[in-house]
Structures are given as structure tokens and as C-alpha cells.
Amino acid sequence: MNGMHVGIIMDGNGRWARGQGKPRWRGHLAGVDSLRDVVRGAPDLGVTTLTVYAFSADNWKRPPTEVGRLFWLLREYCLRERAELLENGVRVTHIGRRDRIPRSALRQLEETEHATARGRRLHLRLAIDYSARWAIAEATHALARKVKRGQLDPNAITPDLLHRRICGNVPEPDFIIRTAGEQRLSDFLLWELAYAELYFTPLLWPDFRRGDLAVALSEYRQRERRFGAVPAERAAKPEAAAS
């Protein structure tokens, strides 16, 4: 699947709820509406891979009642959205740990992964109980086990090999959006973001919709991605002078 890979750090649900005079879980519920709208609109905006930060490994530090609500929302999202995701050609996969996700939520998540496996219009990756540092460590451990079994020469371990272990066949993110005004990555896709463009918006996640995604992508398309190289127009000047 070719096309743009966008990552979103969906931040601000709690602040949105406080501003509305509502409990925090209502902010998470409103955030599901934003996710639904962005997923519906993303393919028409040229996005073919969308990775959303739904629950970080650090989020276990939150009150148990809030954590429980979040996994209830995950279960309900999978149950209620599965038919539409399937109809719209959206493939859902999970990244992160699975061993700590409550059983009922994990069952619905895995059923959604299985049901949507043939989706080709959009690859929706849900980062749940996710930590980029953990993902890098897991990839390193996997390579170390191969070395220990004599299946891999330590000298063959290169950045490219580690990259393939971490990313698989998923393209690197082109563009990362974080809502709610914070300007940090919070342990999200740290390896993959080496050359991604970053975009920070003060909008709280429950207020973010496909139109806001379109605005962000419009700015992205005005940027020049050089990947460490010299800008094309500067590189051309000496040749022009020589001619």
C-alpha cells in the first residue's frame, strides 16, 4: 500500500471534559467521535496509513476507573465500528503490548484485526499499551536471541536490520500531528520518526475533525523534506553558474 503515513498523538480529552464541566471519561468518549471522523476522511486526503496513539504504557499510572473506561471504549469501538471499517476497506492492526490488555477488550480488538485484514484503502494502526522504547528493546532482544542461537552474526546487525525488525513492512511516518498544544513525542514511534515532519495544534482532540486534518496536511505539503540533503535549488546553482 503506497501513500502517506500520518501519526496522531490524540491529546486533550481530559482538558476538553473539564472545560465542558464533565467527567474525564466523557472527554474520551468525545475523542472516539473525532477518531471516527478522521478515519472516514483520511483516505480522501491521501492518507493510506494512520497510526494513532490511543493508550501509552505510561497511562497505566492513571486512576483505575479511568483506565477501565478507556478499555471499555476500546471494546465498544471495535464492536460498533467493525462493520463500517470493513465496508470502507480499513485494515485495523494493533501495536504495543497485548499481555496487559483486559481480556474482553483484547478479544474484540483481535476479532476486528481478523475481520478487516483484507482492507486496502486505509491501514489504521492502534497504538495501545505502547512504548517506543519498549518496542526498540523488544526488537533488540529478538536479534540477540538469534545471535545466541547461532542464527545471526553480530556483525550483521545494522541500523537497516533493526529498522526492519521494528517497522516490518510499514512505511515510515511522513507526518506527526499532536493536538492540545503540547510539543513533545511522549515515547511515540521514536525510531520511526527520524525524518518525519511534526505539527502541533492547540485544538483539543475531541474538537479535531477531518477538516482540521486537511488543514494540517495542506501545511505539510508546503514543506520541503530533504532527508539531510542540500535543497534542490541550492544544489543547482553551481551548475547554473558553470554553464
CATH topology of domain 4-131+172-223: Undecaprenyl pyrophosphate synthetase (3.40.1180)
- Please, what is the end-to-end C-alpha distance for the chain in angstroms? 42
What pLDDT was estimated at residue 229? 75
Distance CA 51, CA 189 (A): 9
> Has residue 236 got a pLDDT over 70?
no
Q: Which of 73-77, 215-219, 230-234 has the lowest mean pLDDT?
A: 230-234
CA atoms within 13 Å, Cβ hemisphere of 145: 6
The predicted-structure confidence for 88-125, as pLDDT tens digits, reads as follows 999 999 999 999 999 999 999 999 999 999 999 999 99
Helix, strand, coil percent values for the chain (each to nearest 5): 50, 15, 35
- As a whole-number percent, the residues of the chain with pLDDT over 70 amount to 94
Helix, strand, or coil (residue 157): coil
Does the pLDDT value for residue 243 go beyond 50? no
- Amino acid in the structure at residue 12: G
Distance between CA atoms of residues 30 and 26, nearest Å: 6
Residues designated as active site: 11, 59
Query: In the chain, what are the domain boundaries?
Result: 4-131+172-223
